Chains A and B, each alone.
Chain A
Amino acid sequence: MTLPSPPMSLLAELTHRCPLSCPYCSNPLELERKTAELDTAGWRSVLEQAADLGVLQVHFSGGEPMSRPDLVELVSVAQKLNLYSNLITSGVLLDEPQLEALDKAGLDHIQLSFQDVTEDGAERIGGLKGAQARKIRAARLIRASGIPMTLNFVVHRENVARIPQMFALARDLGAARVEIAHTQYYGWGLKNRGALLPSREQLEASTRAVEEERAKGGLSIDYVTPDYHADRPKPCMGGWGQRFVNVTPSGRVLPCHAAEIIPDVDFPNVKNATLSEIWNASPLFNMFRGTDWMPEPCRSCERKERDWGGCRCQALALTGKAENTDPVCELSPFHGQVKQAVEESSSKGEELVYRRYR
């Protein structure tokens, strides 16, 4: 038996605690509490095992990873292991001494999130007063430190018209890269789909805004489209258990950050098994790995090794079965559900449900 190829990147969700409460947060609906979090030694071991397994880049994420007092120490562990370290942060807890310590510890890159370009828009999504000014200050500090910075904007119906201003802000703050990511509709995002999903016209306008900015040059742009408007699914995570591994605050190991909704399977934890055992041999990681698990229409599809059947979590959330073809695919018998969601998206405003502990 040959082993699966090793993962390239590790998403280390150090904590689910966060000063913001964005209604599209990628964390699960059941947020993990501080008392359940791995300690420093636990994370150190995860990083060591990840490097041995073949991980090249570690993304320190959350929640807000800067809520963890041991972040600098963990960045320094990553640096010693030759792991490329990326900090995914809201920036609201970042100050000069913290940044200097992270820089000294060898942090390679920072992805700084913005909820909007206007204070009102940002506060409506993030729910934290004064956050925008703190983020702008964080961006200027990062720029001055020389650590490469990507600005991340999650876009949705309420802010999608302001993409040109998002690029202008990125240029003003001296970011070399910008990510414009349409909201992905899992977990909190799915809960708020009625309020967030843009219309087709809005999507087309956003794509045009990205193309116009690309034509100007000088800014590297990542653009993530909402797959609800597509006819074929995205190759979610580059294939289940193929490139990516996620460790949650409590040490659960997942093929993607939304995978905890998959029913009837044990979620492996670094407290009970090694990362290598989990990656290579756990039922969860082997559940949808490769193509053998696929039913029709995926099984006989010529694209099966390009899109890997799309997203399991989306198939589960919208069709009730994780092994079904992602309903974004026009060949899925459930594709009508996605089309209906798109058609209803421009109709009426809905209340936002903010991310919080339940």
Chain B
Amino acid sequence: MTVAPPGIAEETVLSFARGHRLQHDRVRDLWIVQAPEKAFVIEGSAPHILRQLDGKRSVGDIIQQLTNEFSAPREVIAKDVLALLSELTEKNVLHI
């Protein structure tokens, strides 16, 4: 059983905080997060995970969808998703 970091549980619904957004950088062909007076590159599975955030579905729903999509163990996917989302929540890029 994966333990969610404090503040984020499977039933949590997250979205981007005002002033932050996910964006495809068409010139460099990268995914970036735009934030106040900075932009940072995100790689690996992160862009795909962040694209699922619609302000409606819970973290658990997203984990379930990615589990179906990639036929990987739910626990492995949950660990990745929770690590990413809690890090970005701590940085105030995402909010509950």
A interface residue numbers (CB < 8 A to B): 6, 8, 52-54, 56-57, 59, 82, 84, 86, 108-109, 111, 146-148, 150, 176-177, 220, 222
Contacts and interface: CB of A to CB of B under 8 A. Distances in A.
A295 B7 CA distance: 54
A6 B36 contact: no
A111 B37 contact: yes
Contacts of A82: 23
B19 interface: yes
B36 A177 contact: yes
B62 to A, nearest CB: 24
The 9 closest A-B pairs by CB, nearest first: A148-B19, A54-B27, A84-B34, A109-B36, A56-B39, A109-B19, A148-B36, A108-B19, A146-B18
Given A150-B36, A176-B36, 19 more contacts: A54-B28, A56-B32, A57-B34, A57-B37, A57-B39, A82-B23, A84-B39, A108-B19, A108-B34, A108-B36, A109-B36, A111-B37, A147-B18, A148-B17, A148-B18, A148-B19, A150-B37, A177-B36, A177-B37
A147 B27 contact: no
B92 interface: yes
Interface string B24-39: 0101100010101111
Interface residues of B, number: 15
Contacts of A146: 18
9 contacts: A6-B28, A54-B25, A54-B27, A82-B23, A84-B34, A108-B36, A148-B19, A148-B36, A176-B92
A156 to B, nearest CB: 22
Contact of B23 (A6, A56, A150, A176): A56
Contact of B37 (A6, A52, A54, A109): A109
A171 to B, nearest CB: 15
A6 B34 contact: no
A82 B21 CA distance: 10
Contacts of B23: 56, 82, 84
Contacts of A53: 27
B25 A56 contact: yes
Interface in B69-94: 92
A53 B27 CA distance: 7
A183 to B, nearest CB: 19
A148 to B, nearest CB: 3
A56 B34 contact: yes
Nearest to B92: A176
A147 B39 contact: no
A8 B19 contact: no
A8 B36 contact: no
Contacts of A8: 39
A102 to B, nearest CB: 13
Interface in B38-75: 38-39
A108 B37 CA distance: 10
A251 B28 CA distance: 26
Contacts of A84: 21, 23, 34, 39
A150 B19 CA distance: 11
Contacts of B38: 57
A22 B4 CA distance: 50
Contacts of B27: 6, 52-54
Contacts of B21: 84
